[in-house]
Structure 1
Amino acid sequence: MKLNLQDIPRVKTISKEDFNKHYYKPQKPVVIEHFIEHWPAFSKWNLEYFKAIAGEKIVSLYDDRPVSCDDGFNAAHAKMPLKEYIYLLQNGSTKYRIFLWNILKEIPELQKDYSYPDLGLKLLKKLPMLFFGGKDSHTFMHYDIDLANIFHCHFAGKKEIILFDQKQTKYLYKIPHSLITREDIDFSNPDFEKWPALKNAKGYKTTLNHGEILYMPEGYWHYMKYKTTGFSMSLRAIPRHPVNLSKAIYNVFVMRHFDNVMRKVKGQKWIDWKNKKAILNTNRSILNT
């Protein structure tokens, strides 16, 4: 048995009017296959280029270890110069990923290599974020703290994507006071005997290739797995829905700080309680469905 996932719609290119009508306003995902081929980044950006232009920059790295009370909210698992990390990627010897690396802040000259899609979203031009990963590395299923609308532009290789909207949260074993589901769920091959509620979840899937853009509506849950070594850039816009905007403000200014305090005060008991509560909450949701 597999997850109930439909393919994300694909278009070769799209107008602002069609994007707003069919995807942005109804908050539905779409893959745009041919939209950034005019960017210098399309042909220029590769691992060797980043090594040459930013090899000495220190980058924060993340892997798939379980959340620990010893770690702060989204705390990095390691740090090293970018050139050393790229060496590990090229040798296929790491599960470390780069997560939310602000290239405009670190390497301002890269801004000349891309432009902002004119599709009706007011993109936050100071927050272009890069993500790198080696073959088979993956994120936990999560949604972004700011519930942003996102254009996720992929470069090099292939990346598997699974999405769920917020209506599916009750089936996903969400961890309380966090933005992730249970970390021991393999969304590539879930165990439905252990996680039966997942059978009720309805989502989307696709595989991104070099130069393709995925539009992720605000607050969508996403799981991403690098089928090959690659990297992506996300361009984001604030939530359009007032409820989601208020949730984003709460997450940024209240939730993450509360969680950090509880980790310090309760230690591993806090993490263990949250993991148990995720199962109890999900089971209760099934009974009330």
Structure 2
Amino acid sequence: MKLANIPRVSNITKDNFIENYFKPQKPVVLEQAIADWPAFTKWNLDYMKEVAGDITVPLYDNRPVQHKDGFNEPHAKMKMAEYVDLLKKEPTKYRIFLWNILKEVPALQQDYRFPDFGLKILKGLPMLFFGGRDSYTFMHYDIDLANIFHFHFDGEKEVVLFPQSETKNLYKVPHSLITHESIDFSNPDYEKWPALRNAKGFKTTLKHGEVLYMPEGFWHYMKYKTPGFSMSLRALARNPKNLGKAFYNILIMRHYDVLMRKLKGQDWIDAKNEKAITNTNKNTKVLVEN
């Protein structure tokens, strides 16, 4: 894959961010944007265990999608204290995904502020994500194609991004928001996935206190190099085309996929995965012939 390093700046003004990154829809890492937040010094795994240890949290692993799985249905549950102990003890595939801290731990709201980057942040949707060493998310994009600000804490996380324009090279699974689940985006097998040679994207490693801006609808793959966690804040897509895709995903695509899983079972999942391969390789063949 042709991956450029995501640009990094120590800090940024609102006007600079809008002009150089939001308008051209380019990712950027802000290295010191939250150094004045209480969370910058307080937030680590031990602190989360202290303030949320008795809360039962939903856990997800890297198992392939099955037709019986509900939308965002967790694979296991555990007390936060037990989960933090597990993260520190050994590598684990279990991750926390889309954990709303406004709802679960209101006290954590005192540790951060909603930044003014010139976009209207959705204040009701601050989400936390946790993972153990070597755990990862499948390459995917968010259902609402939002502008995302991803704040990382405690440890390091590898990130790979692609714009929507690269979808043709990524083995996207139809009627879903993911690529084929067998692809290892940390070390892709180009013999098996030849179209990835054409994919042009971005990469970086996030460290504690750094903020990643992901433009509207960007594909993202994240792998925890160490145990850690992140918080995402989002702003609605501004591009009318992306807004249209968001409404389609939420109102039509998601419900259609759930219906077909019920009607066809695992055959529906298998057919979608096969289509991801044939569609993308067909496009690769056309590129080679031209």
Structure-2-length-normalised TM-score: 0.97
Specify the SS of the correspondent of 1:204: strand
Please state how far the C-alpha of 1:92 moved relative to its aligned partner.
1.5
Instruction: Assess if the C-alpha contact under 8 Å between 2:45 and 2:154 holds in 1.
Output: no
Specify the SS of the correspondent of 2:201: strand
Q: Which amino acid counterpart does residue 98 of structure 2 have in structure 1?
A: L
What fraction of aligned residue pairs are identical, expressed as a percent?
A: 67
For residues 80-95 of structure 1, the aligned pairs below 5 Å read: 80-95=78-93
For residues 41-56 of structure 1, the aligned pairs below 5 Å read: 41-56=39-54
Instruction: Assess if the C-alpha contact under 8 Å between 1:148 and 1:238 holds in 2.
Output: yes
Instruction: Give per-residue Cα distances to partners, 1:4-56, cap 9 Å, x unaligned.
Output: 10000000111111100100011000000001010000111111211121111
Distance 2:20 2:70 in 1: 39
Q: Which residue of 2 aligns with 1:66?
A: 64
Q: Which residue of 2 aligns with 1:17?
A: 15
Q: Which residue of 2 aligns with 1:79?
A: 77
Please state how far the C-alpha of 1:73 moved relative to its aligned partner.
2.2
Instruction: Assess if the C-alpha contact under 8 Å between 1:62 and 1:98 holds in 2.
Output: yes
Distance 1:22 1:223 in 2: 24
Please state if 1:105 is matched with 2:103: yes
Q: Which residue of 2 aligns with 1:236?
A: 234
Q: Which amino acid counterpart does residue 103 of structure 2 have in structure 1?
A: K
Q: How many residues align?
A: 287
Distance 1:154 1:17 in 2: 24
**Which runs of no fewer than 5 residues in structure 1 stay unpaired?**
none
Q: Which residue of 2 aligns with 1:224?
A: 222
Please state how far the C-alpha of 1:93 moved relative to its aligned partner.
4.3
Instruction: Assess if the C-alpha contact under 8 Å between 1:160 and 1:227 holds in 2.
Output: yes
Instruction: Assess if the C-alpha contact under 8 Å between 1:73 and 1:259 holds in 2.
Output: no
Please state how far the C-alpha of 1:233 moved relative to its aligned partner.
0.3
Please state how far the C-alpha of 1:287 moved relative to its aligned partner.
3.6
Please state if 1:164 is matched with 2:198: no
- Residue among 267, 272, 285 paired with 2:283: 285
Q: Which residue of 2 aligns with 1:132?
A: 130
Runs of 4+ in 1 over 3 A off after TM superposition: none
Please state how far the C-alpha of 1:285 moved relative to its aligned partner.
2.1
Q: Which amino acid counterpart does residue 177 of structure 1 have in structure 2?
A: H
**Which runs of no fewer than 5 residues in structure 2 stay unpaired?**
none
Q: Which residue of 2 aligns with 1:209?
A: 207
Please state how far the C-alpha of 1:160 moved relative to its aligned partner.
0.3
Q: Which residue of 1 aligns with 2:248?
A: 250
- Residue among 140, 144, 147 paired with 1:142: 140
Distance 2:80 2:262 in 1: 31
Specify the SS of the correspondent of 2:248: helix
Distance 1:247 1:276 in 2: 23
Distance 1:257 1:59 in 2: 26
